[in-house]
Amino acid sequence: MQTSQRKKLESLKQEISRRVEKAKADFTSLHSADWSEQVTERENEEVLEALINEGEAELAQINQALERMEAGSYGACVRCGEPINPERLQALPYTSLCIRCASEHD
Protein backbone atom coordinates (compact mmCIF):
# COMPACT_ATOMS: atom_id res chain seq x y z
CA MET A 1 0.00 0.00 0.00
CA GLN A 2 2.85 2.38 0.85
CA THR A 3 4.43 1.69 -2.51
CA SER A 4 1.31 2.54 -4.48
CA GLN A 5 0.76 5.63 -2.36
CA ARG A 6 4.30 6.72 -3.12
CA LYS A 7 3.76 6.21 -6.83
CA LYS A 8 0.54 8.15 -6.61
CA LEU A 9 2.31 11.00 -4.82
CA GLU A 10 5.17 11.01 -7.33
CA SER A 11 2.86 11.15 -10.34
CA LEU A 12 0.71 13.79 -8.69
CA LYS A 13 3.83 15.81 -8.02
CA GLN A 14 4.84 15.62 -11.68
CA GLU A 15 1.38 16.50 -12.88
CA ILE A 16 1.09 19.52 -10.59
CA SER A 17 4.66 20.67 -11.34
CA ARG A 18 3.83 20.68 -15.04
CA ARG A 19 0.62 22.60 -14.41
CA VAL A 20 2.47 25.19 -12.28
CA GLU A 21 5.27 25.52 -14.86
CA LYS A 22 2.73 26.09 -17.62
CA ALA A 23 0.82 28.65 -15.57
CA LYS A 24 4.09 30.46 -14.84
CA ALA A 25 4.98 30.51 -18.55
CA ASP A 26 1.51 31.85 -19.41
CA PHE A 27 1.86 34.42 -16.68
CA THR A 28 5.17 35.62 -18.13
CA SER A 29 3.76 35.84 -21.65
CA LEU A 30 0.79 37.85 -20.36
CA HIS A 31 3.17 40.45 -19.04
CA SER A 32 4.78 40.92 -22.42
CA ALA A 33 1.41 41.46 -24.17
CA ASP A 34 0.09 44.77 -25.53
CA TRP A 35 -1.41 47.45 -23.32
CA SER A 36 -4.69 47.37 -25.25
CA GLU A 37 -5.40 43.90 -23.94
CA GLN A 38 -4.61 44.67 -20.33
CA VAL A 39 -8.18 44.58 -19.02
CA THR A 40 -9.04 41.01 -19.94
CA GLU A 41 -5.54 40.01 -19.07
CA ARG A 42 -5.91 41.15 -15.52
CA GLU A 43 -8.64 38.56 -15.04
CA ASN A 44 -6.48 35.84 -16.58
CA GLU A 45 -3.67 36.97 -14.38
CA GLU A 46 -5.74 36.41 -11.25
CA VAL A 47 -6.74 32.95 -12.45
CA LEU A 48 -3.13 32.07 -13.23
CA GLU A 49 -1.93 33.45 -9.94
CA ALA A 50 -4.47 31.34 -8.08
CA LEU A 51 -3.41 28.28 -10.09
CA ILE A 52 0.24 28.87 -9.28
CA ASN A 53 -0.41 29.47 -5.58
CA GLU A 54 -2.68 26.45 -5.22
CA GLY A 55 -0.28 24.26 -7.15
CA GLU A 56 2.68 25.32 -5.05
CA ALA A 57 0.76 24.74 -1.84
CA GLU A 58 -0.17 21.27 -3.09
CA LEU A 59 3.42 20.55 -4.05
CA ALA A 60 4.59 21.54 -0.58
CA GLN A 61 2.05 19.15 0.94
CA ILE A 62 3.15 16.37 -1.38
CA ASN A 63 6.81 16.89 -0.49
CA GLN A 64 5.94 16.80 3.19
CA ALA A 65 3.98 13.58 2.67
CA LEU A 66 6.99 12.03 0.90
CA GLU A 67 9.21 13.11 3.79
CA ARG A 68 6.82 11.53 6.27
CA MET A 69 6.95 8.38 4.18
CA GLU A 70 10.74 8.38 4.48
CA ALA A 71 10.48 8.91 8.21
CA GLY A 72 7.90 6.14 8.52
CA SER A 73 5.22 8.40 9.93
CA TYR A 74 3.10 8.55 6.79
CA GLY A 75 -0.55 7.76 7.37
CA ALA A 76 -0.64 9.15 10.90
CA CYS A 77 -2.31 12.47 11.63
CA VAL A 78 0.37 15.11 12.35
CA ARG A 79 -1.90 16.75 14.86
CA CYS A 80 -3.34 14.01 17.02
CA GLY A 81 -1.19 11.06 15.92
CA GLU A 82 -4.20 8.87 15.14
CA PRO A 83 -4.11 6.82 11.92
CA ILE A 84 -5.75 8.56 8.99
CA ASN A 85 -8.63 6.67 7.41
CA PRO A 86 -7.27 4.67 4.42
CA GLU A 87 -10.13 5.85 2.21
CA ARG A 88 -9.20 9.43 2.99
CA LEU A 89 -5.57 8.68 2.08
CA GLN A 90 -6.69 7.13 -1.18
CA ALA A 91 -8.67 10.19 -2.13
CA LEU A 92 -6.15 12.69 -0.76
CA PRO A 93 -2.74 10.96 -0.66
CA TYR A 94 -0.89 14.02 0.63
CA THR A 95 -3.19 14.82 3.51
CA SER A 96 -1.45 15.22 6.87
CA LEU A 97 -4.57 15.43 9.01
CA CYS A 98 -7.24 12.91 9.96
CA ILE A 99 -10.76 13.87 9.04
CA ARG A 100 -11.55 15.07 12.55
CA CYS A 101 -8.55 17.41 12.80
CA ALA A 102 -9.09 18.59 9.22
CA SER A 103 -12.66 19.61 9.95
CA GLU A 104 -11.54 21.40 13.11
CA HIS A 105 -8.77 23.09 11.20
CA ASP A 106 -11.06 24.48 8.52
Residue 80 makes contact with Zn ion by CB under 5 A: yes
Q: Which part of the chain contacts Zn ion (CB under 5 A), choosing from 37-45, 55-63, 68-76, 90-98?
A: 90-98
E strand or H helix at 10, and its extent?
helix 2-31
Report residue 76 CA to chain centroid gap: 19
User: Within 10 Å of residue 18's Cβ, how many Cβ atoms?
Assistant: 11
Residue 89 makes contact with Zn ion by CB under 5 A: no
Among 16, 48, 52, 77, binds Zn ion (CB under 5 A): 77
The string of DSSP letters for 63-104 reads HHHHHHHHHT-TTB-TTT-PBPPHHHHHH-TT--S-HHHHHH
Q: How far is the CB of 88 from Zn ion (least distance, A)?
A: 11
Binding mask 28-67 toward Zn ion (x if CB under 5 A, else -) reads ----------------------------------------
What is the identity of the amino acid at 20?
V
Interface contacts to Zn ion, rule CB under 5 A: 77, 79-80, 98, 101
